[in-house]
Amino acid sequence: MSIFNPQNPGESQNFLNWSKAATAPEADKSAGILLSTLGEGIAEGADLADKTVKGIIKDDLYSKIDPIRDRFTAQLDTINQATAPSSKF
């Protein structure tokens, strides 16, 4: 019995050794890679600058706030010790 729906073997066999069309060259992708890498570099540089500025602001803020907080805490401790009942037995 013959095959009703034979499978296509794909590329023809070129039994007569005829020439084929040349394949198209790949497009130059270097500009795209360059711009992509440049964009990533700028993004990472901006992120580093942002973290640096935030760190400087944070350190400056803590150096000014910590003494005020420590004085306030010391005053609260003084008031707490003055108003706490003494436990003399």
| pLDDT tens digits along 53-71 | 999 999 999 999 999 999 9
CA distances from 74 to 13, 62, 64, 66 (A): 94, 18, 17, 12
Q: Would you kindly state where each structural domain of the chain is located, as residue ranges?
A: 53-83
pLDDT in tens, 5-33: 767 666 667 777 788 888 888 889 999 99
Task: Record the pTM.
Answer: 0.49
